[in-house]
Amino acid sequence: MVIRECLPTEEVEWIRGEYRAMLPLFNRPTDDPEAMDWIQQDAVAFCLWHDHDSIARFAQSPYLAQIAAELLGKERLRLGHDEMLFKAPGDDEISWHQDAAMVPVDGSQLIAIFIPLIPIREADGFPVFVDGSHRGTLLGLETGLLKPRREDLARIIADEGWEVSSTGPLELGDVIFLHGNTLHGSHPNRTHKFREGCGLFFIADGARVEEPLADSQVIGLSQCLRGLKPGDLVAGRHHPVVYDASVQRAANS
Ligand SMILES: O=C(O)CCC(=O)C(=O)O
């Protein structure tokens, strides 16, 4: 779901600046927006908050985590990871996927947010969702890797006749909340500039790492749940509690 005007625009602009400052990590110019036009590769990185205090402050802020906890119906949420997601000019669609297929944690324990860091118009690529898919389970895992699943999921959606919704235009301050099982993707970036966005993954306190069911989860385990293995509680310094309803209640009483 989209919560419109969820964040003040100044805050989104600040977050954007923090992530744009990471572009040198990708060997890209940062100071000349025109110069970025011809760059054809995505700038995607996970867990930047581990090494960057400003991103750590944003990623651990309880405001977004509280909304996420309430939507997921959980008392306590931990930070899973942050994600820089700058889609390159002319980039293809983000194919259908479920975030629970990216990390080996039960989808009912996961909620992700996506924050557009520029206003998103049709040419930038609207995010799309399958309505009600959060009530389902993981799909298409038998084929393992990301690429085959994309066709499988598109076929399943067509075969089942599921309704697909688009967010439509997104403004600075709008935030998308995605249950771990929600089938989603986005349209291609048909512009000559980056489609700049970032995301946070939250995991319910008490959730455990499961045995990976697909290669994508093996990759997610090493990239996003660093140091954890199947059977471990998602906890530790890389997964701090970012929202605790009981602390909030005590503070309010
Ligand atoms: O870029 C988008 O529209 C959605 C991002 C996404 O699919 C994800 O972060 O899992």
Residue pLDDT, tens place only, 16-32 = 999 999 887 776 554 55
Please indicate whether residue 246 or residue 216 has the higher confidence score (pLDDT): 246
Q: Which mutation among 46, 128, 184 tests ligand 1's pocket best, with the greatest number of atoms within 8 A of CB?
A: 184
Strand 76-87 relative to strand 94-98, pairing: unpaired
pLDDT of 73 > 60? The answer is yes
* Cα 246 to middle of ligand 1, angstroms: 31
pLDDT at 191 exceeding the cut of 80: yes
CATH architecture of 2-252: Sandwich (2.60)
- Give tens-digit pLDDT for 31-45: 555 544 444 578 889
pLDDT beyond 80 at 64: yes
State the chain's mean pLDDT as an integer. Answer: 88
- Specify the higher pLDDT residue, 35 or 184: 184
194 Cβ below 6 A of ligand 1: no
C-alpha separations of 113 from 43, 93, 96, 108, 133 in Å:
18, 19, 16, 15, 16
Q: Is the CB of 22 under 6 A from ligand 1?
A: no
Q: Note whether 212 and 141 are within 8 A (CB).
A: no
Name the more confident of 151 and 98: 98
Angle at alpha carbon of residue 224, lines to 61 and 165, rounded to 5°: 75
The residue behind tokens 């089942």 is 160
And the tokens for 168? 């439509």
Q: What percent of the chain has pLDDT over 90?
A: 62
Question: Model pTM?
Answer: 0.90
Give 232's pLDDT tier (boundaries 50, 70, 90): very high
pLDDT given for residue 96 in this prediction: 84
- Dist CA 97 CA 138 (whole Å): 9
**pLDDT at position 237, please?**
94
Whole-angstrom CA distances from 153 to 66, 112, 148, 161, 169 are: 31, 20, 9, 12, 25
Q: Is the Cβ atom of 20 under 6 angstroms away from ligand 1? A: no
The residue with greater pLDDT, 142 or 65, is 65
Confidence of residue 108 (pLDDT cuts 50, 70, 90): very high
Q: Which of 151, 57, 54 is nearest to 97 (CA)?
A: 151
Q: What pLDDT is recorded for position 146? A: 44
186 CB less than 6 Å from ligand 1? yes
Question: What share of the chain has pLDDT > 70, as a percent?
Answer: 90
- The residues facing 179 across adjacent strands are 111
110-116 and 94-98 strand pairing: unpaired
Instruction: Confirm or reject: Cβ of 99 under 6 Å from ligand 1.
Output: yes
Query: Is residue 137 predicted with pLDDT exceeding 80?
Result: no
Spell out the domain ranges in the chain: 2-252
Look at residue 168 and tell me whether its pLDDT is greater than 80.
yes
Q: Which is it for strands 76-87 and 43-46: parallel, antiparallel or unpaired?
A: antiparallel
Sign of torsion, CA 225 227 230 233? negative
